[in-house]
Structure 1
Amino acid sequence: MAAPCKAVIIPGNGGQDVATHGWYSWVKRGLEQIPGFQCLAKNMPDPITAQESSWLPFMQTGLHCDEETIVIGHSSGATAAMRYAETHRVCAIVLVSEYTSDLGDDNERASGYFSRPWQWEKIKANCPHIVQFGSTDNPFLPWKEQQEVANRLEAKLYRFTDHGHFQSTEFDVVIKLRASVVSVVKSMLEVPG
């Protein structure tokens, strides 16, 4: 497998500008300080429902996610990263606030990601590095589902108790997450911390 040359940030649904919202821009700037490394953070098509039928093709043709790409996904973006890795080789996926079901939510059900079983073995086969960030106090996602993802994918799990859904705009929380994600990517690239 080729060495990664870029990261792509796939946001959660909600329609916020990826380039300026929350921790996305902080992580992007941190990763762009790595010599020769690129980080893309583009707004996704259908940002509210985050339909699989539009997001996965955009990841392939609009963001060019391939075996040289580290895909960093948050919430719906993490779900898209996992579904993408079922059928595409990528260097790594970094999952932030990942879950396994539609949570009984009509919008999540409409996204299409939860209409069939997960192909855990295919994800692992197509993605040699899997890292997950989760928080036990997430108001939207039960810890049981976050833990299931880590177990099924044998992911390196960073477990927090006070980060909620990783949506905080509090400076210290954003800086801590940025440092964690950048550190994880640097370790994949074997770049000194």
Structure 2
Amino acid sequence: MRLPGVYRAADDTALLANVMRQGEYARGRRVLDIGCGTGALAIEAVRAGAASVTAVDLSLRSAAATWLNARVHRAPVDVRRGDLFEPVRGERFDLLLANPPYVPAPTSLLPRHRIARCWDAGIDGRQVLDRICLGSADALSSGGTVLIVQSEVCDERATLVRLEGAGIRSQVVARFRVPFGPVMRTRTALVEGRGLLKSGRREEELVVVEGCRD
């Protein structure tokens, strides 16, 4: 179920869910889904054997959609509304899941009340990604893991560097090439002009970054 203005689960969601399932990252663990959208990842974490699942989103509609979908699928998900880690400040989790906005936008101003909030992420696509990298260490338990899905367009190396700088060992664990979606097709000239993607490309590589806290 997807309310108007809520991000529709797409290839990036499926890739992250597949990595979580195949690696058995969620089994027996306390899971936090950051930016939950429809709740697809949170529900998959429950199905993958998580001990508990908490889902957070700044959007009221997304929080409502996750709450509704979790109940339709009889998945015990604790849904909270707020900005990234704020609703769970002081709590620790064994697994963080993040499919944040990562599409480069015309300006650095992030939309608050339009569907574009689901993908617009500033000039280089990293405004939300960087905040997640910096905040993950405080939300992870010792030995905990963060899984982040993003596009190559917003520089996977920067994600690795940010996580390492926060004390989280990191690596890319999955790659998947997909054709440009509707939003990226409208931003082709923009990302090419900024040197974020080679001219003529009409597909992008999605990557899943794994970070582990000692």
Tell me which interval the TM-score lies in, with the shorter structure as reference length.
0.3 to 0.5
State the TM-score, normalized to the length of structure 2.
0.38
State the TM-score, normalized to the length of structure 1.
0.41
Task: Tell me which of the two structures has the higher relative contact order, counting C-alpha pairs closer than 8 angstroms and 6 or more residues apart.
Answer: 1
